[in-house]
Structure 1
Amino acid sequence: MSEKRMTGKMISLMARQSLKTNRMRNIFVSITIVLASALLAAILMFAFGQHKATERELSHAQQVGYYNLTEEQMETLKADERIAFQIQVKTGVLTQLDDCSVLPYYVSEMSDKIRVGEMDRGRLPREADEIALQEELLERMGVTPEIGSKVTIPFYDGNTETFTVSGIVKGGENAKQFPVFFSEKYARSGSQLKNQPYEVYAKLYGAADMHPDDLREAMYLIGSDAGVERAYVSPSRAYFDSRFVSSQDVLVYGLVGGVILLACVLVIYGVFYLSVIGRIRQFGQLRTIGMTKKQMRRFVSREGSLLFVRAAPAGVLIGLVAGYFMVPAGFSIVNTLIIVVFVLAVIYLITMISVRKPAKIAGNVSPMEALRYVPEDGMKKTSAK
C-alpha cells in the first residue's frame, strides 16, 4: 500500500474519531445540512412537478383551434397532411332545465390525444336519434342511467325531442351544466346543430421541435390555406406558455434557493470556525508529531465531508417526499434523479466551501502558536503554585 493511501486512511480514521468527541458541533452542522438539502430538494420538486403536471395536462389538449368554419373549410382542414391529429366539433345553444342546463355537442371522436370527454360505457351516437350524456344528468332528469334508455329534452327554442342513450360519459358529479353529445347525422340535420358552424381542434406534426414563432405562423398558414380568417385561428395560449420558462418563477426560486444556501454556508462556517479555534492546541500537537499543513486541511475537510455523507441523504429524502405530496401529478422518476444528483452536488460543494476557511486556519497552526492556547484550568493550576 502506498504512503499516500495510508496517509489518507489515517486522516479518515482521525476525522471519524474526532466526530465522536464533538457531538454538539455535529448536531448543529447535521441539522443545517438536513434542512438545506430538504428545502432545496422540495423547491426543485415543486418547480419541476408543476412544469411536468402542466405538460401532462396539455398532452391531452389541442395546440390550435379553428372556429366559425363552413363544412367545406372543415373538410379542407380534415385533409391537411400538416395536422397530426384533429377532431371536428359543433356546439349548440345552452338550454336551461329545472336545476341544471344542457349544451348540445357534436364531436367526431373521443380521444386521449385531445380530450373533450371520456366514455364510461357504451359508445358515441351514430344515428340521428341517439345521444351520449353523463349519468348524473340522467338521474336529475328522472331517467334510468342505462344504455337504451329514452330521454326527452325540451330545448330553448321550444322543440322537444326524444333520443335513445347510446353511451354514458364519465364525470358530471355536482355539475350545473352538462354536455349532451349528438351524432354526425344530427350535427348535419338536427334542429339544435345543423345551423351551427364547425370547429376543429388540432395538433401539428413536429410542433415540439419548432420555434414557437414558426409554429404559430404555421398554424395561421394552415388556416389561411383552408380559407379561415386569421381572427378565427386560435393558437393555444396554455400550450405556448408551457414552451417558455417563466423568468419571474426562475427569479423567485433562485432567490429562495440562494437564501437557503447562504444561510447554510454561514452556519456551517461559524460552527467549524468555533470548533477549530477550540482545538488549536490539538492541532499544534498534531503539527508537532509531523502532520503537514495540507494534511491538517484535509483532516478538517474530511470532517465536513463525513457530516455531509451522514446528513445530506436524509435531507434530500425528506425534501423529495414533501415535494411529491405538493404536486403528486407532476412526479417523474427522471426529474427526481436529476434533482437528487443536483442537490447532493450543490450541498457537498457548499459544505466544502464552508469548511475551507476553518480548514485553512487549522493548517496554519504552528506548534509554537498552540502553546499560547493554554486551557483556563491549566492557568489556574500554574498560578496556585
Structure 2
Amino acid sequence: MNVKNRKCIRKLSLKSLYANRRRNLIAIFAIALTTLLFTSMFTIVLSLNASYETYQFRQVGGYAHGTFKDVSPEQAERIAAHPKVKSAGARKVIGITADGVFSKTPAEISYMDANCTKWSYATPTTGRMPESGKEVTMDTAALQLLGVTPELGAEVTVSYSITDKDQTAFTVTDTFTLVGYWDYDELMPVHYINISRDYADDIEAQAVKTGLQPFRTDLNVMMASSTNIQGQMEQVDTDLGYTWDSYTDPNSVRIGVNWGYTSSQLESHLDPELVIAIAAFLLLVIFTGYLIIYNIFQISVAGDIRFYGLLKTIGTTPRQLKRIIRQQALLLCLIGIPAGLLLGYGIGAVLVPVVLRSTQLDAGITTISTSPVIFVGSVLFALLTVLLSCSKPGKMAARVSPVEATKYTDAMQTKKNSAAPGERSSIRWPLPIWDETKKRRCWWWCLWHCR
C-alpha cells in the first residue's frame, strides 16, 4: 500500500535539522569549503586556459574558429547559411608591403567586413571602419612607421604590391584618408591596413584587366562550439558537396583551423599524463571534501541513533530514514554551496594573476574566465561529494533497530552516570519500548517533538 507521507518525512527532516544547530553550522562550513575548492580550482584552470588562448590568438592574428579558404561568392553564401556556422566574416587581401619601413613586420592591405574586423583585433578604437573610396584604417605603429600622426582625416600614402591567387604582380602607390586607428599589439604577426570594399573592387577590376587572377577571398567562421572545429568544418563541406583536400579541384573548399584554441591542440596531440593529472587532482578534492562532510554526518547520526530507533518503532522504513538524512544534506547545500561559489570565484580571480606571473605568458593578457562551466561544474561536484558523504551515515541509520538504539543509549547514559554513584538520575530513558503502553508513549513523543 502506497502511503502519502512525504510531507511528514519532510517535516521530520526539518525539525531534526533545526534541533542540531551547531552541527548545521559545521556542515555548512564544510560544504562551503568543498565548493570553494572546486570553484577556485575551476576558475584558475579555465582562466589560465583563456589567457593562454588569448596569447595564442594574438600571435595567430585573430580568434575566429577557422577559415574556408579561397571561396567564391556563391560558396561563401552557402557556407554562411549552414546550420553549423554560427557567424561568418569575409576578408579579401589585395596586396602586401614587406619592404622599407615594413621589412621587420609586413603589412597586409585588405578589405574586412565587420565580423572579420572584430575577430582580427582590428576594430578602430578611434574613428570608424572604411565605408567608401580611399578611406583607410590601421594601427598606430604602422602610422608612425609611415611618418603620419594618428589623427582622423590625415593623409596616408602607402605603396604595396598587388597580389592575386598565384603571384605578386605590380606595385601601386595610393594616398588614403585616415578614418580610424587602434593601438598596435606587438604580438600580432602583421600590420592590418584595412580599406573599403569599393576600393578593393576597383583594384581587383584593374588587376583582372592586366591578366591577373581575381583576388582571393577567405571566409572566417565561428562554429557552434570550439570543440572539434576540424570535424565541424569538414561536415559543412561534406553537406554542401565540397571536398577540402585538393588545390586543383574547383569544387574543393580548403579549410584552416585556428590552432590557438586549446581544443584544437588537444585533438592533434592529447597528452595522457595531463588528463591523468587533472583527474587525480579532482579525485583528491572530492576525497578531501568527502572525509570532512562524511565525518560530520557520521557523528550526527551516531548522536541521534536513539531518534532513528524511535522512528523505526512507529513504522518509519529504512528508505524513509535515508531520505530524511539526504534531505537535511540538500537543505544545508542551499546555504553552503552559494557561499562557496562566491568565495571560490573571488579567490580564484585573485590567484590567476599570481599564477600567470610565474609563467612565460605576458601579464597583459590576463583573462578571468566567466564560463558557466565554473559554476555548473562546481555545483555538480559539490552535490556529488555531499551525496556520497551522507550515503553511508544514511545506511547506518537505516540499519539500526529499536532494541540496538535503546541499548546504545543505555550504555551512554550508564557511562555518564557512573561518575556519581548513589545519586538519583533524572533521566527516565530508556523506555521499555516493546511494552504496548510505552510504544504509545513513543508515538506521542515523536508527534509532539516533530510538530
* Bin of the TM-score, shorter chain as denominator length: 0.5 to 0.7
Q: Give the deviation of 1:144 after TM superposition.
A: 3.2
Q: How does 1:90-169 map to 2 (within 5 A)?
A: 90-97=94-101, 101=104, 103-113=106-116, 115-116=119-120, 117-119=122-124, 120-124=126-130, 131-139=136-144, 141-151=146-156, 163-169=175-181
- Kindly indicate whether the alpha-carbon contact (under 8 Å) linking 1:65 and 1:202 is maintained by their aligned counterparts in 2: yes
**Displacement after TM superposition at 1:118 (Å):** 2.1
> Does structure 2 conserve the Cα–Cα contact (< 8 Å) formed by 1:132 and 1:169?
yes
CA distance in 1, matches of 2:204, 2:250: 21
Partner of 1:380: 419
In structure 2, relative to structure 1, the CA distance for the partners of 1:373 and 1:315 (3 Å cut) is same
- Give the corresponding residue for 2:193: 180
- The answer on whether the counterparts of 2:12 and 2:324 sit within 8 Å (CA) in structure 1 is no
1:60/1:9 Cα in 2 relative to 1: closer, same or farther (>3 Å)?
Answer: same
Whether 1:265 aligns to 2:276 is no
Query: Deviation per CA, 1:135-156, whole angstroms, max 9, x where unpaired?
Result: 3443565433234423456889
2:390 counterpart residue number: 352
SS in 2 for 1:220: coil
Residue 283 and residue 82 in structure 1: after superposition, are their counterparts in 2 closer, same or farther (change >3 A)?
A: closer
**CA distance 1:44–1:92, change in 2 (3 Å):** same
Q: Decide whether aligned partners of structure 1 residues 221 and 141 sit closer, same or farther in structure 2, where only a CA change above 3 A counts.
A: closer
Q: Per the alignment, in what secondary structure is the counterpart of residue 105 of structure 1? A: strand
**Letter of the structure 2 residue corresponding to residue 349 of structure 1:** L
TM-score, normalised with respect to structure 2? 0.59
Question: 1:35 is matched with which residue?
Answer: 33
CA–CA distance in 1 between the matches of 2:146 and 2:232? 49
Match of residue 87 from structure 1: 91
Structure 2: any 5+ residue segments left out of the alignment? Answer: 81-87, 162-170, 353-365, 425-451
Contact 1:125 1:167 in 2 (8 A): no
Q: Compared with structure 1, are the counterparts of its residues 368 and 3 closer, same or farther at alpha carbon in structure 2 (3 Å cutoff)? A: same
For structure 1, which segment, 295-304 or 258-267, has the greater mean C-alpha deviation from structure 2 after superposition? Answer: 295-304
* Contact 2:13 2:328 survives alignment (8 Å): no
Quote how far apart the aligned CAs of 1:244 are. Answer: 9.7
Number of the residue aligned with 1:200: 217
Paired residues in the alignment total: 360
Residue by residue over 1:64-121, the C-alpha shift from the partner in whole angstroms, topping out at 9 and shown as x without a partner, is 353xxxxxxx6x73443544353221442423439x9563422233321464422442
CA distance in 2, matches of 1:301, 1:153: 72
Is the 8 Å Cα contact of residues 89 and 198 (structure 1) preserved in structure 2?
yes
Aligned mates of 1:155, 1:4 — CA distance in 2: 79
Alignment of 1:289-368 (within 5 A): 292=316, 294=318, 300-301=325-326, 303-321=328-346, 330-331=369-370, 338-339=376-377, 342-343=380-381, 345-360=383-398, 365-368=404-407
Compared with structure 1, are the counterparts of its residues 251 and 90 closer, same or farther at alpha carbon in structure 2 (3 Å cutoff)? farther
Deviations 1:173-228 (A, max 9, x none): 668963434643557779xxx99995432257998897555446645268544388
* Residues 1:305 and 1:105: Cα distance change in structure 2 (over 3 Å): closer
What letter corresponds to residue 33 of structure 2 in structure 1? Answer: L
Residues 1:63 and 2:66 aligned together: yes
SS at match of 1:380: coil
- Distance of aligned partners of 1:135 and 1:165 in 2 relative to their CA distance in 1, 3 Å threshold: farther
Tell me, in whole angstroms, the C-alpha distance in 2 between the residues paired with 1:285 and 1:62.
62
Separation of aligned partners in 2, 1:377 and 1:252: 50
Relative to structure 1, the CA distance from residue 16 to residue 59 in structure 2 (aligned partners, 3 Å threshold; closer, same or farther) is: farther
- Taking structure 1 as the reference length, the TM-score comes to 0.67
Q: Which amino acid aligns with 1:366?
A: A
Any conservation in 2 of the 1:89–1:105 contact (CA below 8 Å)?
yes
Equivalent residue number for residue 164 of structure 2: none
Other structure's SS at 2:106 match? strand
Task: Give 1:274 shift.
Answer: 3.3
Secondary structure of 1:87's partner? strand
**Offset of residue 353 of structure 1:** 2.0
Question: Secondary structure of 1:124's partner?
Answer: coil
SS in 1 for 2:191: strand
User: How many angstroms apart in 1 are the aligned matches of 2:222 and 2:292?
Assistant: 53
**Deviations for 1:343-369, whole angstroms, at most 9, x for unmatched residues?**
564355234325324434655633234
The percentage of counterpart residues that share the same residue type is 15
Aligned to 1:255: 280
Does 1:238 pair with 2:238?
no
Q: CA 1:15/1:329 → structure 2, altered by over 3 Å: closer, same or farther?
A: closer
Q: Which amino acid aligns with 1:12?
A: L
Distance 2:112 2:31 in 1: 54
**Inter-partner Cα distance in structure 2 for 1:138 and 1:105:** 14
In structure 2, the CA distance between the partners of 1:359 and 1:123, relative to structure 1 (3 Å rule), is same
Say if 2:9 and 2:324, in contact at 8 Å, map to a contact too.
Answer: no
Q: Residue by residue, what CA displacement relative to the aligned partner does 1:311-356 show, whole Å, maximum 9, x if unpaired?
A: 22322333455567769675356x5775576356435523432532
The alpha-carbon deviation at position 33 of structure 1 amounts to: 1.0
2:18 match: 16
Mapped to 2, the partners of 1:162 and 1:369 lie a distance apart of 96
Contact 2:158 2:173 in 1 (8 A): yes
Q: Which amino acid aligns with 1:165?
A: T
